Structure 1
Amino acid sequence: MKDLLLHIYSYPDPTPPEAIDQAVRFAAAVGGDLTALAVQVNLQASSNYLASRLINLAALCAEQEAKSLAACKSAVAVFEEKLATYRVTGGSLLTQADLYAIGSHVALHARTRDLCLVPMVDGRDGQRAVTEAVVFGSGRPVLLFRPGKAELLGGGLSTVVVAWDGSPTAARALAAALPLLPKARQVRVLTVLNEKAEARAGLGAEVVRHLGVHGVEAIADEVDAANRKVGQVLSDYVAEHGSDLLVMGAYGRSRIQEFILGGATESLLANPRMPLLLAH
């Protein structure tokens, strides 16, 4: 992973300095070049006579856009300081996008990167929509983390858990994570049984063999879902084993099925307890 991208959010709440610090430390750990993509929001005030008369809509939008630009510049300054501190090569891009097109804008830039780092600040803001757009629209792996709750490299890569159900999305996630796995102290391949028909006992053995060819020692493990949702099973497992990174495919079933049934990706995006490396 030599070419990394960090999304810097600026509206309504900016990416916090601790998220930038963690991203740069991650780039230092993997030996990658890191580019910060700071996106100023464009609110595009509509031409509305009544709104202009009552609340001066254009002026309000211009004020928020200026606030967003100031947040971008402040974050870029922190980013460049951290690059020097951790001796990481990289640079920054200050761009602009419409409020509801930020996700597709970031996804476009992520398509020519090895990995896109997306810090999550608050599930109530637009960051969740951006996250989904990058995961499903970039065609590249995405690393999600949340300072204070799902710390990135808080203590190095101790235990990495690879969620494995034998699906194409799980295979893509495994391939995307392969450059990181040799840096982990322990790699565990987890198959959740009695949740999906295709997730059978013994599936993890072939993953262990494949990783061994790449010089990565791994442990295959299986857990019975026992009527729990797979997202809860995964969260409980990584907590039990002190994992600081979960690798998984994003949305193995159709998105409408995931919405109705409550899939693992949906559950973990809503309440991340550890950094997630997702591939779709």
Structure 2
Amino acid sequence: MLKDVLVYLEEGHNTNERIGVAAELAERFSAHLTGIAVSEPMAARAEFLPPEALEGYRRSWQVRNARLGEAFRAETDRRGLSAEWRAVEDMRLDLSVADILARHARYADLLVVGQYDPDEPHGLVPDDLAGHLAVLAGRPVLAVPYAWQPVPVGRRVVIAWNAGREAARAVADALPLLREAEVVHLAVVEGHDRRRGDHGELPGADIATHLARHGVAVEADRLVMRDVPVADALLSLTAEQGADLLVMGAYGRPRLRELVMGGTTRGVLEQMTVPVLMAH
């Protein structure tokens, strides 16, 4: 069950839509909803700024966080939700926005974030934020497209299934939504980095049986990949099915001091037009 939802907010043109998605989920599952804002890291770097400049940064982010908190409370009060607001205004120099969010997300059932918008100059959504958080936090992350309209999420679902560990984790974390869905479509991805035996004798049959035991009936479709990128095929299928949610594993590996996301994860996050639930 979803009983504790966390939504990350930063100023942008789709802030209210993201609040709406998170609030609708909290209302549907009778969950507690927490909103969180994280101040610009530069505001914490006192050694690089004169005191008056630092104070100016802090005041500007406090004002911004207050605006976000007002928008959050207006929606949660309207729906009568159990809710709280957090504004993280002081950060250690060695922590990023993702580090802070991952720490808070570990005490939630689901973290809701936005998609990176290259045309949004004021936002703090880093590229690949959702994928990074899924790996760092160990909790499922729901990424909401910047152009998304706040219709209920999870009525028509596509699951990206490649028989891997990350996909299995995503399916398990998505079960509360899958049980409530009207249609669940299983996209069995073959032909990229997986041995034929991973899927069993009948690709998709084992996970379909497992989901059926949880009361989730699925429709299966095989995606045998050769020359088309997996991300493109998944997003095309999602559009064809009229889905409002894509469930998939988040793939990433450490390289030196950074986390490098897999090509499919990055491609989906860059091009998605429906919310994506990712887990690692």
Tell me which interval the TM-score lies in, with the shorter structure as reference length.
0.7 to 0.9
Moved more, 70-79 or 93-102: 93-102
CA–CA separation in structure 1 for the residues paired with 2:99 and 2:140: 15
Could you say which residue in structure 2 is the equivalent of 1:207? Answer: 207
Q: Is this contact kept in 1: 2:61–2:89, CA < 8 A?
A: no
Correspondences of 1:64-103 after superposition (within 5 Å) = 64-98=57-91, 101-103=96-98
2:230 matched to which residue of 1? 230
Whole-angstrom distance in 2 between the partners of 1:15 and 1:45: 29
Q: Distance in 2 between matches of 1:59 and 1:146?
A: 37
Distance 2:46 2:71 in 1: 34
Give secondary structure in 1 for the equivalent of 2:247. strand
The correspondence for 2:110, drawn from 107, 115, 126, is 115
In the alignment, which residue of structure 2 is the partner of 1:174?
171
Moved more, 220-229 or 237-246: 220-229
Q: CA deviation at 1:84?
A: 1.8
C-alpha distance after superposition, 1:239-259 (max 9, x if no partner)? 1111110111111x6466x96
Q: Deviations over 1:167-192 (max 9, x none)?
A: 11111001000111111110011112
Q: Please list every run of 5 or more consecutive structure 2 residues that lacks an aligned counterpart in the other structure.
A: none
Identify the residue that residue 101 of structure 2 maps to in structure 1. 106
TM superposition shift of 1:207: 1.2
| 2:126 is aligned with 1:128 | yes
User: For residues 198 and 96 of structure 1, what CA distance do their matches in structure 2 show?
Assistant: 47
Q: Would the aligned equivalents of 2:130 and 2:142 in 1 still touch at CA under 8 Å? A: no
Deviation at 1:45, TM superposition (A): 4.2
Deviation at 1:101, TM superposition (A): 1.9
Q: Look up the equivalent residue of 1:7 and give its one-letter code.
A: Y
| Structure 1 position 245 matched with structure 2 position 240 | no
Deviations 1:72-112 (A, max 9, x none): 11111111111122222111112224385221111001111
- The aligned counterpart of 1:198 is 195
- Counterpart position of 1:41: 40
Match of residue 29 from structure 2: 30
After superposing on structure 2, the runs of 4+ consecutive aligned residues of structure 1 that deviate more than 6 Å are none
Change (3 A) 1:271 1:255: farther
TM-score w.r.t. structure 2 length? Answer: 0.84
For the 8 Å contact 2:7–2:34, the answer to whether it is kept is yes
Q: How does 1:134-153 map to 2 (within 5 A)?
A: 134-148=133-147, 150-151=148-149
SS at match of 1:127: coil
Map of 1:62 onto structure 2: 55
Determine if contact 1:248/1:277 at 8 Å carries over to the other structure: yes
Gaps of 5+ in 1: none
Whether contact under 8 Å (1:173, 1:248) holds in the other structure is yes
What number of residue pairs does the alignment pair up? Answer: 266
Provide the residue aligned with 2:221 in structure 1.
221
CA separation of 1:218 and 1:47: change in aligned 2, threshold 3 A: closer
Other-structure match for 1:277: 277
Q: Is the 8 A contact 2:37 2:65 kept in 1?
A: yes
Q: CA deviation at 1:23?
A: 1.7
- Shift of the alpha carbon at 1:144? 0.6
In structure 2, give the amino acid aligned to 1:88: L
1:157 to 141, 154, 158: 154
Aligned-partner residue type, residue 57 of structure 2: Q
Q: Distance in 1 between matches of 2:137 and 2:87?
A: 19
Computed over aligned residues only, the root mean square deviation of the Cα atoms, in angstroms, reads 2.6
With normalisation by structure 1, the TM-score equals 0.84
Cα shift at 1:222: 0.5
- Alpha-carbon offset, residue 137 of structure 1: 1.0
SS where residue 161 of structure 1 aligns? strand
Q: Does the 8 Å CA contact 1:165/1:203 hold for their aligned counterparts? A: no
SS at match of 1:178: helix
Separation in structure 2 between the aligned mates of residue 120 and residue 61 of structure 1, nearest angstrom: 29
